[in-house]
Chains A and B, each alone.
Chain A
């Protein structure tokens, strides 16, 4: 008896230890990220880091202003949202409300392909196909612009937005829709007056997660946005090169001496990025929890 009991308890402890790895990993991630990030502020004032408008890491004296990079991430993400949210929601409505089961069974895997394509392939595609198109049609000096990044990120965020919105829309009880149809509303009136409002918090969660995905994306933006660290105007900045937080880390980490101010500055950017996505995730989870219909 006690032997078997010990074995069961031993196994449970092992399983618990595995479960704890996720917590430990997150904890260590915070520590190691913030530790190297904070070291910057012993040499460089945190105020300047947050508010200075220049990112000249190799100048003498160096300027580590995160603002242009942060705003670069923001403008690319906003562009991506404007592009992908309406499109994604439209597709989600089409799949869950209009398409026959046969068609939606084809459409779903097709959108899943978008989720599977590696970001570097998106970046490559954007670089060789979209960049020249943008440059020629808009007659810009370069096609590597925030807009290019936004379009590519928008495409990449589509599968997230589509699948979660589709879940939310499908989970609206049929009785609710039938109630509206029985009152003589058309199918479309039912969709936009009943179904979509009822699944709004699920759709918002989808949008939040799409934003999280876009703001954290690295390779694609690095390959198509031109990477010049200037504060973008809006909306004119969409048509000029920008540099995001993620691209800065990936571009510069290879060239900095470990332990230098510049090295720590990149960790400080990483910390800001992490905190930003952390907050977005918390909001997304919060709205997601509220949308399920309890039937």
Chain B
């Protein structure tokens, strides 16, 4: 009986280890395929030149720039809005119906599929407000998509600031806002930045929303205003892989594009995680 339980345990733990090994293997296999196949394609020319010959040759420069514009545009809107919302929710809001409504809205926005955000952006920004399929429509759509992420990260950062700091400042006859601005925010900023950086990765990788709000199949030039259409890395990869002029021949370009996208996203994650751990160690001191 006793040895039976021991045997069961051994089997169960082995299975758990196999499961974990499988998941690690998934990560490794995906990274391996993209990196090993994309690695030889990436060079300065690939990154800095325009696609040529119906996108079967040349580089991905406009797609990289388009993605960069989207990051700047959506962060410019979502970051201030998200941080201010988080300050309101954590520092000012009384528990009540309004706060409940805000919290509920945030968690539902966070769970809404990105393609639905795309439809919303299409209906509101592209059609109703008349921005057309454009950088601004796509940036605003992505801004709404990452708003919940930034709010949640900022709220968590604010929660790590000890209550004692606030009390000490208030007891010195300092107003609530001055207390937040001079004591609470400086302590919370690193955590907020971590959240913001992670959502950059999200913006860089989202495809469905920009597909509906302004990403172009192919553009032989750079966008010249916020009302222009644009190319973007994830959509470019999709186009090359599924509906390009010569899918098999452009396989290397596809791997290269996927790798550039992956590098952007992984770098962003590494930066965010290292800021977070640096900051955590500082707190422990």
Q: Is chain B in direct contact with chain A in the complex (CB below 8 A)?
A: yes
Which A-chain residue is minimally distant from B262 (CB atoms)?
Answer: A121
User: How far, in Å, is B25 (CB) from chain A's closest CB?
Assistant: 10
Which B-chain residue is minimally distant from A223 (CB atoms)?
Answer: B242
Contact across chains for A120 and B89 when beta carbons are under 8 A apart: no
- Segment of A54-62, A110-118, A134-142, A235-243 engaged in the interface with chain B: A110-118
Which B-chain residue is minimally distant from A111 (CB atoms)?
Answer: B23
Classify the interface of chain A: helix, strand, loop or mixed: helix
Contact across chains for A192 and B12 when beta carbons are under 8 A apart: yes
Beta-carbon contacts under 8 Å, B163-207 to A: 175-177, 201, 204-207
Within 8 Å by CB of B93, from A19, A26, A119, lies A19
| Residue A52 CB within 8 A of the other chain | no
Chain B 93-137 per-residue mask, 1 if CB under 8 angstroms from chain A, else 0:
100000001100111111111111111101110011000000000
Chain B 12-26 per-residue mask, 1 if CB under 8 angstroms from chain A, else 0:
110111011011101
Contact across chains for A33 and B119 when beta carbons are under 8 A apart: yes
Kindly list chain B residues whose C-beta atoms are within 8 Å of the C-beta of A20.
Answer: 102
- Segment of B48-56, B144-152, B221-229 engaged in the interface with chain A: B144-152
- Segment of A43-51, A167-175, A248-256 engaged in the interface with chain B: A248-256
Chain A 158-196 per-residue mask, 1 if CB under 8 angstroms from chain B, else 0:
100010000000000000000000000011110110000
User: How far, in Å, is B110 (CB) from chain A's closest CB?
Assistant: 8
Chain A interface size range: 35 or more
User: How far, in Å, is B152 (CB) from chain A's closest CB?
Assistant: 11
Contact across chains for B265 and A22 when beta carbons are under 8 A apart: no
Chain B interface size range: 35 or more
A15 to B82 alpha-carbon distance, docked (Å) = 10
Kindly list chain B residues whose C-beta atoms are within 8 Å of the C-beta of A82.
Answer: none
User: How far, in Å, is B90 (CB) from chain A's closest CB?
Assistant: 10
Which B-chain residue is minimally distant from A185 (CB atoms)?
Answer: B5
Contact across chains for A91 and B23 when beta carbons are under 8 A apart: yes
A32 to B117 alpha-carbon distance, docked (Å) = 11
User: How far, in Å, is A277 (CB) from chain B's closest CB?
Assistant: 6
| Residue A16 CB within 8 A of the other chain | yes
| Residue A155 CB within 8 A of the other chain | yes
Contact across chains for A93 and B16 when beta carbons are under 8 A apart: yes
Contact across chains for B266 and A113 when beta carbons are under 8 A apart: yes
| Residue A290 CB within 8 A of the other chain | no
Which B-chain residue is minimally distant from A248 (CB atoms)?
Answer: B115
New A-B pairs, 8, CB < 8 Å, besides A11-B177, A19-B84: A23-B105, A107-B20, A118-B204, A118-B262, A119-B205, A125-B258, A188-B12, A192-B12
List 21 A-B residue pairs with CB atoms under 8 Å apart, sorted by A's residue number. A4-B175, A15-B88, A19-B93, A29-B144, A32-B124, A33-B123, A94-B20, A98-B17, A107-B24, A118-B204, A118-B262, A121-B205, A121-B234, A158-B23, A186-B6, A188-B5, A216-B116, A223-B241, A223-B242, A246-B208, A278-B112
Residues of chain B touching chain A, judged by Cβ–Cβ distance below 8 Å, are: 5-6, 8-9, 12-13, 15-17, 19-20, 22-24, 26-27, 30-31, 33-34, 80-81, 84-85, 87-89, 92-93, 101-102, 105-120, 122-124, 127-128, 144, 147-148, 151, 175-177, 201, 204-208, 211-212, 234-235, 237-238, 241-242, 251, 254, 258, 261-262, 265-266, 268-269, 273
